A and B are shown apart, each in its own frame.
Chain A
Amino acid sequence: MLLIKCPYCEEERPELEFRNAGEAHLVRSPAISEQSDEDFAAFLYFRQNPKGLQFERWRHIHGCGRFFNAVRDSVSDKFLTVYKAGEPRPDVETLLNPETVSDAEPAKKRAPRAKKGEL
Chain B
Amino acid sequence: MRKYSVFALAREALRAHKGWEQQWTSPEPKSEYDVIIVGAGGHGLATAYYLAKEHGITNVAVLEKGWLGGGNTGRNTTIIRSNYLYDESAGIYEHAVKLWEGLSQDLNYNVMYSARGVMMLAHNIHDVQVFKRHIHANRLNGIDNEWLTPEQVKEFCPPINLSADARYPIIGAALQRRGGTARHDAVAWGYARAAADRGVHIIQNCEVTGIRRAANGAVVGVDTNRGPINAKKVGVVAAGHTSVIMNMAGVRMPLESYPLQALVSEPVKPLIPCVIMSNTVHAYISQSDKGEMVIGAGTDQYTSYSQTGGLHIINHTLDAICEMFPVLTRLKMLRSWGGIVDVTPDRSPILAKTPVPGLYVNCGWGTGGFKATPGSGNVFAHTIARDEPHRINAPFTLERFTTGRLIDEAAAAAVAH
Contact = CB atoms under 8 A, between A and B. Distances in A.
Interface of A: 1-2, 15-16, 19-20, 22, 37-38, 41-42, 44-51, 54, 56, 72, 74-77, 113, 117
Nearest to A72: B302
A49 B401 CA distance: 16
The bracket for how many chain B residues form the interface is: 20 to 34
Residue of A22, A37, A47, A49 ringed by the most chain B CB atoms within 10 A: A49
Contacts of B301: 15, 19-20
Residue of A41, A42, A117 ringed by the most chain B CB atoms within 10 A: A41
A19 B255 CA distance: 19
Given A1-B310, A48-B243, A51-B241, A77 B255 contact: no
A46 B399 CA distance: 11
Given A1-B310, A20-B303, A46-B401, 17 more contacts: A1-B312, A2-B302, A15-B310, A16-B312, A20-B302, A41-B401, A41-B402, A46-B254, A48-B252, A49-B253, A49-B303, A50-B247, A56-B302, A74-B257, A74-B304, A77-B304, A77-B306
A46 B302 contact: no
A50 B304 CA distance: 9
A22 B345 CA distance: 12
B16 interface: no
B163 interface: no
Interface in B279-313: 301-306, 310-312
B5 interface: no
A72 B303 CA distance: 10
Contacts of B243: 47-51
A47 B306 contact: no
A47 B252 contact: yes
A117 B302 contact: no
Contacts of A74: 257, 303-306
A41 B256 CA distance: 15
B241 to A, nearest CB: 7
A47 B310 contact: no
Contacts of B253: 46-47, 49
Interface string B49-91: 0000000000000000000000000000000000000000000
A21 B304 CA distance: 14
Contacts of A2: 302, 310
B402 A38 contact: yes
Interface of B: 241, 243-244, 247, 252-257, 301-306, 310-312, 345, 401-404
27 contacts: A15-B310, A20-B302, A20-B303, A22-B256, A37-B403, A37-B404, A38-B402, A41-B254, A41-B402, A45-B401, A46-B401, A47-B243, A47-B252, A47-B253, A47-B256, A48-B243, A49-B244, A49-B255, A49-B257, A49-B303, A51-B305, A56-B303, A74-B303, A74-B304, A75-B306, A77-B302, A77-B304
Contacts of B256: 22, 47, 49
B252 A46 contact: yes
Contacts of A1: 310-312
A74 B303 CA distance: 7
B407 to A, nearest CB: 13
Contact of B306 (A15, A76, A113): A76
A45 B364 CA distance: 13
Contacts of A51: 241, 243-244, 305
A117 B252 contact: yes
A15 B310 CA distance: 9
Nearest to B243: A49
Given A1-B311, A38-B402, A45 B302 contact: no
A38 B254 CA distance: 12
Contacts of B403: 37
A74 B257 CA distance: 10
A114 B269 CA distance: 53
B275 to A, nearest CB: 29
A38 B399 CA distance: 9
B305 A45 contact: no
The 7 closest A-B pairs by CB, nearest first: A49-B243, A45-B254, A41-B402, A1-B310, A20-B302, A20-B301, A45-B401
Contacts of A77: 302, 304, 306
Residue of B244, B252, B253, B403 ringed by the most chain A CB atoms within 10 A: B252
A16 B257 CA distance: 20
Contact of A47 (B254, B311, B402): B254
Contacts of B303: 20, 49, 54, 56, 74
A107 B310 CA distance: 28
A115 B296 CA distance: 37
